[in-house]
Amino acid sequence: MSKVKAIQRSVAMAESGLVEMPKPLEQLREDEVERKQCICRVMTHALRHLTGEFVGSGFEWLLPVIFSKTTDPLWPDPGASIEKRIEVEIYGETARATQSMIVHKMVACSLVQPRLFILSPNVRIEKKERASSGAHAYEFTQLDFEVRNATSREIRSLVEKVLSGLVSNVKSCLSEELIYLGRNDDLAVPPIPFRLYDRRELEHEYGRDWETQFARGICNPTWVTNIPREFYDFEDLEEGTWDNYDLLLPKYGEVLSGARREWEYSKLVRKMRRDNVRQENYEILLKLARERRLKPSAGGGIGIERLVSWVVGAKHIGETQLFPKIPGLVYDL
């Protein structure tokens, strides 16, 4: 199927009510352009508020990394659905497109900046069937942050303050945009602290597909802790529990993933072997841990497009991108 036909087919599906697929810019009607402009204003306001809050809290704003020999393995995260990993040769070395800057954050937080954040591009080639979820893009931006010697509770409190403040600020400053988008009455400032659940109780109630079902039933951002995940999230190996957390949004699911980090060499190696993670891809991280230069830290990454989708009530996360990056579709721009 040609690109043009694929785009036409997805638009036809959207118009039939089967799935809401964003159109490319050149196909937008006048009213759709106005809707896109409203969403862009909310995006600008959100970025200004979020970055301002982090800078005001003593964080240093670092620039992102696009290609690296080391990036997040996204394994064995049960939420990962990667169809293809982007690798290129640069000066005779294999480099990978950034899937997340978690390893870079851990190293930078240990060696240079004890409080840091980055607006980081992430490339994750999701399986095509995730196009219809409305919440997935194969290229998106995270506000990644890390704090040396922080606890999970401290990180969750910071996030609650920032996100509640964001919603309050948007409702105060952009009420006309929210009214136009039909979101002003439904969007409420989430009360602090956010509710918190252990993943095990949700699995008991909903089964293995707990995230999708749980997100449909909540009304406010909600924490879920103790999620088996990658080697760098802190795990109590004797108890089998994880000191990590996801923040779920109503309908859209996980908008933030974070944890207290592993920093001890023996635990990192043990978990890498258990999970079949290639140690040679993380030589610098392991070297620092072996030399005890890797410091305890905690942090997370906020998905910007998914957060703004929730704020504006987007039908598809691609609405928050001027040039949508939807699984299974490659537009000209």
Distance CA 122, CA 136 (A): 12
Helix (H, G, I), strand (E, B) or coil at 116: strand
pLDDT for 12: 47
pLDDT for 19: 57
pLDDT for 75: 82
pLDDT for 48: 98
For 20-62, write each residue's pLDDT tens digit.
Answer: 789 999 999 999 999 999 999 999 999 999 999 999 999 999 9
Distance CA 302, CA 310 (A): 13
Residue-range domains of the chain with CATH? 30-320 (3.30.930.10)
Q: Where are the alpha helices (DSSP H) in the chain?
A: 3-16, 30-56, 102-111, 152-173, 175-180, 199-206, 210-217, 265-274, 283-290, 304-312
Per-residue pLDDT at 4 exceeds 60: no
For 214-252, write each residue's pLDDT tens digit.
Answer: 999 999 999 999 999 999 999 999 999 999 999 999 999
For 255-272, write each residue's pLDDT tens digit.
Answer: 999 999 999 999 999 999
CA 166 to chain centre: 17
pLDDT for 1: 41
Supply φ then ψ for residue 331, to 5 degrees.
Answer: -75, 170
Cβ atoms of 321 and 174 within 8 Å: the answer is no
- Percentage, residues of the chain above pLDDT 90: 89
Q: What is the mean pLDDT of residues 129-147?
A: 95
Mean pLDDT (the chain, rounded)? 93
Question: What DSSP state is assigned to residue 28?
Answer: -
* Weakest mean pLDDT among 44-53, 72-81, 115-124, 188-197: 72-81
Burial 87-119 (b: 16+ CB within 10 A, else e): eeeeeeeebbbbbbbbbbbbbbbbeebbbbbbb
For 102-121, write each residue's pLDDT tens digit.
Answer: 999 999 999 999 999 999 99
Helix (H, G, I), strand (E, B) or coil at 300: strand
